A = this chain, B = another copy of it.
Amino acid sequence: MSTFIENQNWRYATKKFDATKKISDENIALLKKAIQSAASSYGLQPYKVFFIENPEVRAQLQPAAWGQSQIVDASHLIVFASINKLNEAYIDAFVQNMATTRNLQVADLEGYATFMKGAILNMPEDKMATWTAKQTYIALGNLLAAAAELKIDVTPMEGFEPEKFNEILGFNERGLHATLVAPIGYRHAEDALQFAAKVRKSEEELFETI
């Protein structure tokens, strides 16, 4: 377990990636599994996760992320996109998946389905979009922890223009919204920030016991 903390101390938001170093297919598969296994509200995973490999698309995205070099220099570029509005069909598909996975009848899950629909489908649109967006932050958390274990660098980013990302990546017509960007790869030897101490609130400031 001290490994977890050591990995966290090793991790930092990389400013400059080594563009010559690529993540292996095997490690990409592991990172995908880590994202896929993340917790989410009701287990609904109300998002999609995009791996942007096309260099032209990445070049197009760079100015929409304040020109940050990581967008084009990282080995891979991940964009988390939340689903703005879940509908009845979405929840039905989830229940069907649950029935198949757990070898149950959909009819056995009817009560649960009705409960979820009552809780979710009447949410105001902006509240629902915020709620689905929040779920992507847990998935990002899993990506960060898994990547640190593999000594793969990640730069979690909110510093980009979501509207431009949505437009470039065709998210608007699909009801998706870019919530988080995560270039992944290997830190450049010249990125001085890797040697800087982590800045964190003290335990006394962060935690409180009641």
Q: Are A101 and B51 in contact (CB under 8 A)?
A: no
A18 within 8 A of B: no
Q: Are A30 and B5 in contact (CB under 8 A)?
A: yes
The prevalent SS among residues of A at the interface is helix
Inter-chain contacts of A1 with B (CB < 8 A) = 27, 30, 146, 149-150
Separation in Å of the A195 CB from the closest CB of chain B? Answer: 10
Q: How far is the CA of A21 from the CA of B36 in the complex (A)?
A: 30
A positions within 8 Å CB-CB of B: 1-2, 4-5, 8-9, 11, 13, 27, 30, 32-39, 41, 43, 45, 48-54, 57, 94, 97-98, 101-102, 130-131, 133-135, 137-142, 144-146, 149-150, 156, 158, 169, 196-201, 203, 206-210
